[in-house]
């Protein structure tokens, strides 16, 4: 399996998310990693098994609880960071 390259944009967030996810912590980074899990797996990055409610909904609900009306912009910013990481990882192959 491939490691998360620390030089990629958003790598710290993704690594933190994978660590939390493996420990069973439903943090914002963990849910973001779950959102990206299908592509992360295709890129060779090991992820835990997924299950339960869709991670997109869980992530948004967590953001809404913490940030109210700003949840939408925070959600979009996190998704942009995830996509940036995924694109960098795809080019790094």
At 93, the pLDDT band (50, 70, 90 cuts) reads low
Q: Using one digit for the tens of pLDDT, what is the confidence trace for 26-82?
A: 999 999 999 999 999 999 999 998 878 899 999 999 999 999 999 999 999 999 999
Is residue 69 situated within a structural domain?
yes
pLDDT of 12 over the 60 cut: yes
What is the dihedral sign for C-alpha 30, 3, 82, 55?
A: negative
pLDDT of 83 over the 70 cut: yes
pLDDT of 5 over the 60 cut: yes
Domain that holds residue 19: 11-91
Is residue 38 situated within a structural domain?
yes
Is residue 86 situated within a structural domain?
yes
Q: How many CB atoms lie within 10 A of CB 4?
A: 23
Is residue 24 situated within a structural domain?
yes
Average pLDDT over residues 12-30: 96
Is residue 5 situated within a structural domain?
no
> Would you say 21 and 48 are in contact if contact means Cβ atoms under 8 Å apart?
yes
**What total of structural domains would you count in the chain?**
1
pLDDT of 17 over the 80 cut: yes
């Amino acid at each position: 399996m491939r490691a998360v390259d620390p030089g990629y944009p958003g790598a710290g967030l993704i690594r933190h998310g994978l660590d939390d996810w493996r420990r069973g912590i439903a943090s914002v980074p963990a849910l973001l990693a779950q959102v990206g899990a299908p592509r992360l797996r295709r890129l060779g990055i090991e992820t835990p098994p997924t299950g339960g409610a869709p991670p997109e909904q869980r992530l948004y609900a967590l953001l809404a609880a913490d940030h109210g009306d700003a949840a939408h912009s925070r959600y979009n910013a996190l998704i942009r960071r995830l996509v940036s990481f995924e694109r960098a990882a795809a080019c790094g192959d």
